[in-house]
Amino acid sequence: MKRKVSKAVFPVAGLGTRFLPATKSIPKEIMTLVDRPLIQYAIDEARAAGIREFIFVTSRGKSALEDYFDHAPELENVLRKAGKDHLLEALKATNMESGAIAYIRQHRPMGLGHAVWCAKRLVGNEAFAVILPDDVIAAEKPCLAQMVEAYAETGGNIVAAMEVAPSQASSYGILDIAEENGPLVRAKGMVEKPAAGTAPSNVAVIGRYILTPRIMQNLSRIKPGAGGEIQLTDAIAAEIARGGNVFGYRFRGQRFDCGSKAGFLKATVAFGLAREDLGAEFWDYLAEMFAMRRAAQ
Ligand code: UTP
């Protein structure tokens, strides 16, 4: 039997404090990279990986997210009458089939692990993906599709992994590596935000996961960890301790940390330059700006 993943959980209940004051009234996931909100990139990546059911873990103040995936009949009528087919086409990607999308509330921001646990009943007894929309990944083959392929071969739990500078390790979940096999690394441990100098490797976990239902059981049991939050990393580490398989997958692509201001700006430049309709004009502007800076030095 070929192993499949058809459900994805999108934890979007965080406070997004690094983007205050904007995130006082705008969910972080609605902030736009060029002309699409972060959540659209995440949904497109999930669809490309064969995901059919989309589960959002939301919180107060996130209604803009729910509206984003709704039909907009007035807007669509205006565009149709004006013959703006390309804009109608752009809107299509935002529509979800009835029944394909579910929202569940996390009533208090108790951490990523707790947010994932909130989706327990909707996920049921099958493997599921988790996508953090603030990690945006530019890749020829979308990252989750790469991971679903790897999962079909290996089963178990797979987390997206990448090397980080040793000085950065304390900002991530870090894998303790048992063995490497091409892009897959088998983990013998995993630690969230290790104190400086104590990281077991420089292979960090970023916001894409394929997880087994046992991770939900582990989440039911674990206590708050780093930062006083229920950590997904701790539930995955518990799975390793129970003898479960956990692999890091070194994806092919470039990851942008759009949860941070600098990362968001970098992504904006990279995605802007990559756009056929904007790249040339944007490049000219950047070149002009660099020339002016150099002249001023
Ligand atoms: P972050 O660590 O980026 O936290 O969460 P945050 O609240 O979004 O942003 P800052 O740090 O205050 O600026 C990583 C992911 O986990 C989700 C977030 O929505 C984000 O997708 N999350 C985090 C939850 O859904 N619930 C939580 O309690 C915490």
143-147, 185-189, 222-226, 275-279: which has the minimum mean pLDDT? 222-226
The pLDDT value given to residue 98: 78
The pLDDT value given to residue 3: 86
The pLDDT value given to residue 126: 95
Atom of ligand 1 nearest to the CA of 28: 8
Q: 113-164 pLDDT, tens per residue?
A: 999 999 999 999 999 999 999 999 999 999 999 999 999 999 999 999 999 9
Would you say residue 158 lies in a domain? yes
pLDDT-derived band of residue 70, with 50, 70 and 90 as boundaries? confident
Q: How far is the CA of 184 from the centre of ligand 1 (A)?
A: 27
pLDDT-derived band of residue 1, with 50, 70 and 90 as boundaries? low
Q: Which residues line ligand 1 (CB under 6 A)?
A: 11-18, 28, 57, 106, 109-112, 114-115, 132, 134, 259
Would you say residue 164 lies in a domain? yes
Average pLDDT of the residues in 165-193? 93
Q: For 20, list phi and psi in degrees, rounded to 5.
A: -70, 145
Atom of ligand 1 nearest to the CA of 109: 28
Would you say residue 290 lies in a domain? no
- Between the alpha carbon of residue 210 and those of residues 72, 79, 221, 297, the distances in Å are 33, 39, 20, 49
Residue tagged 């071969």 (tokens): 153
Average pLDDT of the residues in 61-73? 87
Q: How far is the CA of 9 from the centre of ligand 1 (A)?
A: 14
Mutation to probe ligand 1, out of 31, 112, 132, 232 (largest number of atoms < 8 A from CB): 112
The CATH number of the domain holding residue 216 is 3.90.550.10
Q: How far is the CA of 282 from the centre of ligand 1 (A)?
A: 31
* DSSP 8-state secondary structure symbol assigned to residue 29: G
* DSSP 8-state secondary structure symbol assigned to residue 223: P
Would you say residue 275 lies in a domain? no
Average pLDDT of the residues in 39-46? 95
Number of domains in the chain: 1
Would you say residue 12 lies in a domain? yes
Q: 233-270 pLDDT, tens per residue?
A: 999 999 999 999 999 999 999 999 999 999 999 999 99
Average pLDDT of the residues in 219-240? 91
- Helices (runs of H) and strands (runs of E) counted in the chain: 11, 13
Q: 72-126 pLDDT, tens per residue?
A: 889 999 999 989 998 998 888 888 877 899 999 999 999 999 999 999 999 999 9
Distance (Å, whole) CA 129 – CA 12: 14
Q: How far is the CA of 134 from the centre of ligand 1 (A)?
A: 9
Would you say residue 91 lies in a domain? yes
In contact, 147 and 184? CB cutoff 8 Å: no
The pLDDT value given to residue 97: 79
Would you say residue 126 lies in a domain? yes
Would you say residue 293 lies in a domain? no
Print the domain residue range for 60.
Answer: 7-259
130 closest CA partner among 31, 7, 250, 244: 7
